[in-house]
Structure 1
């Protein structure tokens, strides 16, 4: 291709400089126009085509950007920047294999190319390849130690992997996430991203006052961008001040009306306040603004499931695998449906023990379709779930997995089975306590003539995970709050509680028998529950256990109830023997317990 005349070339250089300045200033359309004209004047220059690809990619013009990158690479095949730009474009357009190949080409050409390693880190994060993510991000900060985004990416990787090794030449302290964020802020103190990340890590650690101080600094730095208000809203939600959380989130949205993240924050606050329709609408808008946004898709899934819209809800619920600290089980290729007959399929527990008890109902259904079904579950559930019919093996999550044709997480089974509100597999009991285990409890209870009621008043405290800990505080009550139940005649109470809450002293008059020291696992607890007449519990795994055993169970539900309990129902389609007692207002337990006391007195009198 002949070179452009010198006048054209000079004009092309000037346009290239102008386009680069426009791109840096956020004027993407002007940049694309400048680079397009420059490419006409100097079509032989690969760098101009690369810049045009960058501008078009920023504008979201996928086909045009790819065309520009590929033309740059035809002119200069050994061009790491163009390969990296193409990789970023392919990654964004959901072509991970092609993106990986382009990234590898960039890094083979220049192993010290920080941008190439940064793209590799992004792809590892999306694939949840956490074991390699921190290693790659440490390399990025070594290659680009003055890059604030590189330090923020390392902070995110360390937060995911809880990596604490020293890196990046930092000798004063290990590169914990906050240390990396502080480095990013020091490099770019006038940019809000570092402060937003710093506040987020402080909130995860439960340092809410420190986070508010960072928000105040952020408000002084960028008073019209709404970041501080959104962060303050999250803090208010965690502290149970729902009205303030909604007000702050709305103020943030006024300042940044096109922010998907702010819409997610507002929708969470609306959900906590019981305004499910507004939460639905807000998450819908967030997904429209950012179709690939995992938080918006995940939060929308929970709203849809709570509203009984299972068709879309289960599909969007799969976005949980792109959230923090979640990794899809890789013991075998994923099973996404199809005829399971003749195949060995591993079902893997995820989330809490209650989730396992809830969704393990699908295991015998899968076995009935001809699959050889294996289970990997929490150690405390192995003995109980070994009694499920048709299951080839049950192992602890700590054990080596069996060789299988495919695997699938338990909470993905409703999607594969196409479960709708009308087709929930609600046949109970699907779990059974062993007669031998029941016999021991039966002998202990033999002399009791009153109605036998089990109590659970608190969930797992999740002391190492602050946000989960705050959720547990909303679902749990103090044992003293159950004092109104003490004077119900004809009832004997038995503790089904485990963990630190067992140290709480019963309120005066509440005669509570505690034999749970003799219950080593859920098989033992199931045997005791099977001998009781009723279980009253906050939203914990024991609710699921009692429901799966087809025992009567009354659940005390917090105002912002889990999606699985749906909305405005006193029953559960998952468990025919369950009755729900819901809070009318966030944190307001006394009216709930008063209703339980009235119902318990009527129940005891009838029986």
Structure 2
């Protein structure tokens, strides 16, 4: 007898309570296929029914080792643990089953029993109640719920539950008198138990008997979807629709599968027909809303989502989906209500807590996000998704060590979890631990060699080390796996731009955006590419997408003022707030005088380092210098109260739309005159000859430090110029490098740490110097904004702020750009700078 027949026969014996016959069938099936997970499970379940808990545990663990993604395997192991009195292990097993199949009623019921045994009747009641919601015909769950209600002193609720149990027992008794179940019914039962693999085997056997059975086709589609065979699932679902075109469920299944495959346009007519057939189905309306959202029709998606929620579905998972859709639409308040409604319906399900934590984190409510994530972890401490949610909240709070610990914990539970590994790698990347980040990404690829996410992350780390050939090889591998993978297309476009292939870069970024039109990171990258080539009209428009990026600092700034969209400002007050780095703050501040000319009053928030400089430079403005925190209540004390708010990075979109809009200024920042005089006296004491400020390192690992930085050894042709005195303006720790230079070559680079630590002193020193020579760093912006002469050594494939070509930097007339002609080729640049200094 074939192994499948033996498994089916053994399951039938087991259902009749004849464990010895079931054992015989399982053993015979295992002789044929020794590693068959379903046969191992049958053997374990038979041992459990026979009372041999040790043998049952051993065989069930073998089944899980062979296939750990079957919910019923874990829940049955939980029953063994519970019968042994190992309650914590039982709870963990039931939670694993529920994590695999959240609507698995039996696992919820058994989890309730374990909670009750642990002396926690409240949590037991929640689990039993959830089991009855998922399976209204679950007599045992109603009996258990009635018993718990009695324990909790709730007699009326207990009576209702027990009455329901009695009705169901009678109904189920007569159902047991029915004929043997069909293969289709058996396949459906295996799907319900969370075993799509066995459901697929049974379904294919059923198809041999009836090739035109639409129910079997739909079951096969469901099983194939769970097994990850999306294309084959779509084929079966299409066949089910062909056989029953007026069946709403078949239409919804096919539409959802097509939507999951990225074919929203093909999904649309099926989901529309489903809604026509079932106009009051919340699930059908939501699926159609998701299709419209995927096609970029936010308005229609919103209307359908509202219709779905108005029907008040009782399914918590549907509210979670609704919350996700609303979140994608930017409707954070409505999304939060949806997630909280899901929690009301099923407070023990981690999924809604995890989604709510993510939403709150993106809204800057970090402590609330952390609390929600902690609740998810408390509900299931083996949930890698919950641990990642907690890690993300901790990371946003700046607690990177604690975040990494949670991500590492998630990886131990689920080594294949790419997101946890990505987060660890990104933290290392941002902390300038480039080599360690590379190692972690490579480690991840050992177990997941085709992971597009990991290949892209590794490519970007390699790119930051200027190892472009290796980086492109990673991306080619990713694109060979999926030619339309938007992250890989975008990463390749970014690297093409850095290596001087602008046309290819823009084409790739457009292809990536076409594949993922809602991806703000890709849209922002394309905008940066356009701005680099001085295409300001669409460049600034796309640049606004930065505000939707997850790492956008300004997303936490939730001020109670209207967003300024270019409205007239006569008689109005506007708040300008920072959002990016120090150099960007200075660069965008060039627009403040134009804003002052339009508004009654301008309030400016800036980095605490820039407070004195901005207050002096913009005397008509209210300047608030502060450390960036999540607290925004300080704006309540502003007088006059602002009518509008605008992030600094959005100002150029209003005031720098053409090359002609960039003013030929002589500096818009004003140094402290007394400090400038003091620095001039100090510089005069060095001796005669020009005094040149020098900065030779820029950025950190993830902002292209390797590409845009030099060493003092590389700069020796400059440093050996007779009569020129060099003064360090380098903000990183360079004392050792300066000492080594003096010891090896007898060359002095003057360095006063006090001028570096206080930015107002830095500004004064820059104004006291004859000129500045620097790599691409915040010093460029400071020097240019002060109107002082600067020579900037620009790497090949420069940042958009420096443009794509030429010696002119639009933002600063006093700045001259000397560009690399090839990647990493600094000697010609240094020679050009030397010539300028000599001249």
Residue 262 of structure 1, CA deviation: 1.3
Instruction: Decide which structure has the larger Cα Rg and report it.
Output: 2
1:326 equivalenced with 2:559 (yes/no): no
Name the CA distance, whole Å, in 1 between partners of 2:247 and 2:756.
79
Q: 1:119 to 1:179 in 2, by over 3 A?
A: same
Q: 1:274 to 1:135 in 2, by over 3 A?
A: farther
Deviations 1:467-515 (A, max 9, x none): 35xx334333223433212443454434434452255135546454445
1:598 equivalenced with 2:835 (yes/no): yes
1:434 equivalenced with 2:661 (yes/no): no
Instruction: Please name the residue that 1:456 is paired with.
Output: 694
CA contact (8 A) 1:158 1:177 kept: yes
Comparing 255-264 with 448-457, greater Cα deviation is found at: 448-457
Residue 412 of structure 1, CA deviation: 1.6
1:80-95 equivalence runs, <5 A = 80-95=316-331
1:61-76 equivalence runs, <5 A = 61=267, 64=272, 68-69=281-282
SS of equivalent residue, structure 2 residue 715: helix
1:472 equivalenced with 2:705 (yes/no): yes
Greater RCO (CA < 8 Å, at least 6 residues apart): 1
Residue 390 of structure 1, CA deviation: 5.0
Residue 217 of structure 1, CA deviation: 5.2
SS of equivalent residue, structure 1 residue 580: strand
SS of equivalent residue, structure 1 residue 375: strand
Deviations 1:548-570 (A, max 9, x none): 22222111122242210001211
Instruction: Please name the residue that 1:171 is paired with.
Output: none
Residue 430 of structure 1, CA deviation: 1.2
Deviations 1:423-452 (A, max 9, x none): 223423212223333332344456789553
CA contact (8 A) 1:495 1:514 kept: yes
CA contact (8 A) 1:118 1:140 kept: yes
SS of equivalent residue, structure 1 residue 528: helix
Deviations 1:376-430 (A, max 9, x none): 2222221111122453222212394443333222112112335333322342321
Match for residue 721 of structure 2 among 478, 488, 499: 488
1:299 equivalenced with 2:525 (yes/no): yes
1:424 equivalenced with 2:651 (yes/no): no
Instruction: Please name the residue that 2:535 is paired with.
Output: 309
Which has the larger helix fraction?
Answer: 2
Name the CA distance, whole Å, in 1 between partners of 2:686 and 2:428.
52
SS of equivalent residue, structure 2 residue 603: strand
Instruction: Please name the residue that 1:395 is paired with.
Output: 624
Match for residue 588 of structure 2 among 359, 380, 383: 359
Residue 180 of structure 1, CA deviation: 3.4
Name the CA distance, whole Å, in 1 between partners of 2:757 and 2:763.
11
Name the CA distance, whole Å, in 2 between partners of 1:575 and 1:489.
29
Q: 1:71 to 1:353 in 2, by over 3 A?
A: closer
Name the CA distance, whole Å, in 2 between partners of 1:107 and 1:588.
58
SS of equivalent residue, structure 1 residue 77: coil
Comparing 394-403 with 346-355, greater Cα deviation is found at: 394-403
Comparing 412-421 with 503-512, greater Cα deviation is found at: 503-512
Comparing 384-393 with 121-130, greater Cα deviation is found at: 121-130
CA contact (8 A) 2:241 2:247 kept: no
Comparing 119-128 with 402-411, greater Cα deviation is found at: 119-128
Q: 1:80 to 1:142 in 2, by over 3 A?
A: same
Name the CA distance, whole Å, in 2 between partners of 1:384 and 1:348.
16
Match for residue 761 of structure 2 among 510, 524, 546: 524
Instruction: Please name the residue that 2:123 is paired with.
Output: none
- What's the TM-score, normalizing by structure 1? 0.82
1:272 equivalenced with 2:508 (yes/no): no
CA contact (8 A) 2:792 2:816 kept: yes
Comparing 59-68 with 102-111, greater Cα deviation is found at: 59-68
Q: 1:510 to 1:598 in 2, by over 3 A?
A: farther
How many pairs are equivalent? Answer: 578
CA contact (8 A) 1:429 1:550 kept: yes
Name the CA distance, whole Å, in 2 between partners of 1:525 and 1:202.
30
Residue 302 of structure 1, CA deviation: 1.8
Name the CA distance, whole Å, in 2 between partners of 1:57 and 1:105.
26
Comparing 33-42 with 267-276, greater Cα deviation is found at: 33-42
Name the CA distance, whole Å, in 2 between partners of 1:147 and 1:127.
24
Instruction: Please name the residue that 2:390 is paired with.
Output: 154
Name the CA distance, whole Å, in 2 between partners of 1:511 and 1:188.
55
Comparing 401-410 with 365-374, greater Cα deviation is found at: 401-410
Q: 1:539 to 1:453 in 2, by over 3 A?
A: farther
1:134-213 equivalence runs, <5 A = 134-163=370-399, 176-189=402-415, 195=421, 199-201=425-427, 203-204=429-430
SS of equivalent residue, structure 2 residue 605: strand
Name the CA distance, whole Å, in 2 between partners of 1:197 and 1:370.
43
Name the CA distance, whole Å, in 2 between partners of 1:335 and 1:219.
46
CA contact (8 A) 2:693 2:769 kept: no
Name the CA distance, whole Å, in 1 between partners of 2:237 and 2:328.
19
Match for residue 649 of structure 2 among 411, 421, 445: 411
Name the CA distance, whole Å, in 1 between partners of 2:767 and 2:499.
37
Q: 1:239 to 1:115 in 2, by over 3 A?
A: same
Unaligned runs of 5+ in 2: 1-177, 186-212, 286-307, 629-633
Name the CA distance, whole Å, in 2 between partners of 1:116 and 1:56.
25
Match for residue 825 of structure 2 among 588, 591, 596: 588
SS of equivalent residue, structure 2 residue 621: strand
- What's the TM-score, normalizing by structure 2? 0.61
Instruction: Please name the residue that 1:23 is paired with.
Output: 225
Comparing 564-573 with 508-517, greater Cα deviation is found at: 508-517
Instruction: Please name the residue that 2:288 is paired with.
Output: none
Name the CA distance, whole Å, in 2 between partners of 1:189 and 1:77.
36
Name the CA distance, whole Å, in 2 between partners of 1:38 and 1:88.
33
Name the CA distance, whole Å, in 2 between partners of 1:493 and 1:185.
50
Name the CA distance, whole Å, in 2 between partners of 1:335 and 1:501.
43
1:375 equivalenced with 2:611 (yes/no): no
Q: 1:289 to 1:567 in 2, by over 3 A?
A: same
CA contact (8 A) 1:485 1:510 kept: no
Name the CA distance, whole Å, in 1 between partners of 2:814 and 2:454.
46
Name the CA distance, whole Å, in 1 between partners of 2:575 and 2:682.
39
1:70-149 equivalence runs, <5 A = 77-149=313-385
Q: 1:544 to 1:228 in 2, by over 3 A?
A: closer
SS of equivalent residue, structure 2 residue 667: coil
Q: 1:434 to 1:205 in 2, by over 3 A?
A: closer
Q: 1:537 to 1:30 in 2, by over 3 A?
A: same
Residue 368 of structure 1, CA deviation: 0.8
CA contact (8 A) 1:177 1:201 kept: no
Name the CA distance, whole Å, in 1 between partners of 2:426 and 2:244.
43
Q: 1:336 to 1:356 in 2, by over 3 A?
A: same
Instruction: Please name the residue that 1:250 is paired with.
Output: 476
Q: 1:42 to 1:210 in 2, by over 3 A?
A: same
Q: 1:13 to 1:41 in 2, by over 3 A?
A: farther
SS of equivalent residue, structure 1 residue 455: strand
Unaligned runs of 5+ in 1: 1-5, 165-173, 603-607
Comparing 479-488 with 29-38, greater Cα deviation is found at: 29-38
Match for residue 774 of structure 2 among 531, 537, 561: 537
SS of equivalent residue, structure 1 residue 347: strand
Name the CA distance, whole Å, in 1 between partners of 2:618 and 2:423.
49
Match for residue 733 of structure 2 among 500, 508, 514: 500
SS of equivalent residue, structure 2 residue 734: helix
Deviations 1:13-41 (A, max 9, x none): 76664443243233564576589799988
